[in-house]
Amino acid sequence: MKITSIKGMHDITEPESFAWRYAENLIKKQFEDFGFTEVRTPIVEYTQLFTRSVGEVTDIVQKEMYSFLDKNEESLSLRPEGTAPVVRALIEKNLLSHDPIQKLFYLGPMFRYERPQKGRQRQFYQYGFEVFGVAQPRQDAECVFMLVDLYEKLGLKNLSVSISSVGCPKCRPQYLEKLVKALSAQKSKLSEDSQKRLEKNPLRILDSKSPQDKEIVSKMPVMLEHLCSECEIHFEAFKNDLKTLNVNFNVNKNLVRGIDYYKRTVFEITSSSLGAQDAIGGGGRYDSLVEELGGPSTPAIGYAGGMERLIMLMDQDFEKYRPNLKYFFVTPDEKGAEKAFLLASKLRQKGVKVEIDHSGRSMKSQMKRADRLKAEKVAILGGSELEKGIVLVRDMATKQQTEVSFEDLLK
C-alpha cells in the first residue's frame, strides 16, 4: 500500500518552495530591520501551557489540539500557535532581566486539528513576532505599519486592516455582563452553537457566521462603546498613530479573536482575494499574559500570519522566485568532464551558484536540463576545449558564445 501524507499536511516542492524561500527571506529581513531577533521554541509543549494562555473554552483548546500522553504519562501538545511558547521561553530564560524590552520573531510549523479547506491546514506555518515591555500605543501602530509595509514589499493587493479594542479587566467584565443579559433575552433566536457559546464564551457569538446570529449581533451592545477611560485613550492614540504613518484601517466593532489572552488592541489583516478563510494574520495586545504564566507584570503585543495564505496571495508565477543559476557545466565527453568537475567545485567554493551533471547523459539532455533550471550561462567543456585551455561560455539569453580561459572563469 502506498503511504501518503496525513490529511491537511502538505509537502512543499519547487517551484512553490521558491516562493516560500523568497517570502521567508523578506519576512526575516523586515522583522530584523524593525529591531526583532529570532526565537526558536520546541514544537511540543506541556498541554497546560496552552489551556492556561489560549483559554480553556476556545476552539483551539477544546477541539483543535494534537495532544497525547508521552511515555512518562505527561500530557503534551503540538503547538497550535507561537505566542504562549514564546512567553514561556521569555520567563524561563529570564530574558527581561537582560533588557526590559524584548522584540522576538519566529517562523515555523503549527498544528490545529481543523477541517482542512482552502487556506486551512492541520499543519501550517506561521511567521510571527512579539514585543514585550512596551505599553504605549505607538508600538501598536508601528507593528501594523511594519506588516502593511511587508505585504506591500511582497506585492500583495486588496488588503484591509481591521482594528478594535477588547477592553481590559477593568471594563470588560461590566460589558460582558451587559452583553450576556442582552443575548439571553434573545436566546431562543440564536443558532444552536451560539446558545452553547452563551454559557461558555459569549464573545464568540459576536463573530458567528450564521445569518440568524448576525441579525441579533447587529443590535447588541459593543465593547468599543464600553471602554474605560484608559482603554479609550489608548485606542484613540493608536488610531492617531496609524494616521501619522498613513496606514489605512477600518474599525471593526465586532472583531473578536479566537484566543483569550487579548487586552485592549486587537487587529486583523484580511484580503478579499482569499475566500472564506480571509485572514492573512491577526494579533493584539496581551498585557496580562506574562504575569499569568508566572513572569513579571509586562505589557506585550504581537501578531502571527499564515505562510500558506501569504503564498496564495503572491504572484503565482513561482518560477519568478527561482534562485539565479550562474553556470551550468555541459560536458560532451569524459575528457572535459573531469576538468569541469574541478572548475565547478572551485567556483562553488567561491560562492558562485553552479550546476553540473555527472550522469554522463548526452549533451542534448544536459542542455535541456540547463534550460529547465534557467541557467544564466552554459559552460561547455569537452576534449577540444580542454586542449585549447578554454571553456566555451554561452549566454542563454543572447545566445552569444565566448571562449573564456580557466583562470578568467575562476576570477
Q: Does 81 bind ligand HAM (CB under 6 A)?
A: yes
264 in Cβ contact with 284 (< 8 Å):
yes
Could you say which of 55, 133, 202, 305 contacts ligand HAM (CB under 6 A)? 305
Question: Least CB distance from residue 283 to ligand HAM, whole Å?
Answer: 4
Question: Least CB distance from residue 163 to ligand HAM, whole Å?
Answer: 14
Q: Does 281 bind ligand HAM (CB under 6 A)?
A: yes
Question: Least CB distance from residue 271 to ligand HAM, whole Å?
Answer: 10
Show the binding pattern over residues 87-126: x = contacts ligand HAM (CB under 6 A), - = does not. -------------------------x-x-----xx--x-x
Nearer to ligand HAM, 299 or 302 (CB): 302
Q: CA torsion, points 268, 245, 155, 81, in degrees to nearest 10?
A: -30
Q: Does 133 bind ligand HAM (CB under 6 A)?
A: no
Q: CA torsion, points 22, 26, 32, 33, in degrees to nearest 10?
A: 150
Nearer to ligand HAM, 280 or 386 (CB): 280
Show the binding pattern over residues 283-302: x = contacts ligand HAM (CB under 6 A), - = does not. xx-----------------x
Helices 172-184 and 192-200: crossing angle, nearest 10°?
140
Total residues binding ligand HAM (CB under 6 A): 26
Could you say which of 282, 295, 299, 382 contacts ligand HAM (CB under 6 A)? 282
CA 219 – CA 34 distance, rounded (Å):
41
Closest residue to ligand HAM in the complex (CB):
302
Question: Least CB distance from residue 304 to ligand HAM, whole Å?
Answer: 4
DSSP H or E segment with residue 214: helix 211-217
Could you say which of 304, 311, 314, 390 contacts ligand HAM (CB under 6 A)? 304
Could you say which of 23, 103, 106, 130 contacts ligand HAM (CB under 6 A)? 130
Could you say which of 22, 106, 303, 329 contacts ligand HAM (CB under 6 A)? 303
CA 203 – CA 41 distance, rounded (Å):
31
Show the binding pattern over residues 309-328: x = contacts ligand HAM (CB under 6 A), - = does not. x-------------------
Nearer to ligand HAM, 268 or 357 (CB): 268
Task: List strands edge to edge, sheet with 325-330.
Answer: 354-356, 325-330, 375-380, 390-395, 401-405
258 in Cβ contact with 60 (< 8 Å):
yes
CA 330 – CA 360 distance, rounded (Å):
10
Residues present in the chain in total = 411
Q: Does 85 bind ligand HAM (CB under 6 A)?
A: no
Nearer to ligand HAM, 281 or 299 (CB): 281
Sign of torsion, CA 239 243 245 251?
A: positive
Name which of 73, 92, 79, 68 is nearest 42 in CA terms: 79
Helices 229-244 and 137-153: crossing angle, nearest 10°?
40
382 in Cβ contact with 335 (< 8 Å):
yes
Q: Does 82 bind ligand HAM (CB under 6 A)?
A: yes
CA 179 – CA 158 distance, rounded (Å):
33
Question: Least CB distance from residue 384 to ligand HAM, whole Å?
Answer: 56
Cβ atoms within 10 Å of 112's Cβ, excluding its own:
20
Cβ atoms within 10 Å of 40's Cβ, excluding its own:
12
Question: Least CB distance from residue 312 to ligand HAM, whole Å?
Answer: 10
Could you say which of 43, 91, 176, 279 contacts ligand HAM (CB under 6 A)? 279
Q: Does 306 bind ligand HAM (CB under 6 A)?
A: yes
263 in Cβ contact with 285 (< 8 Å):
yes
Q: Does 145 bind ligand HAM (CB under 6 A)?
A: no
Question: Least CB distance from residue 336 to ligand HAM, whole Å?
Answer: 50
Q: Tell me the pairing of strands 279-285 and 300-306.
A: antiparallel
Question: Which positions lie near ligand HAM, rule CB under 6 A?
Answer: 81-83, 112, 114, 120-121, 124, 126, 128, 130, 258-259, 279-284, 302-306, 308-309
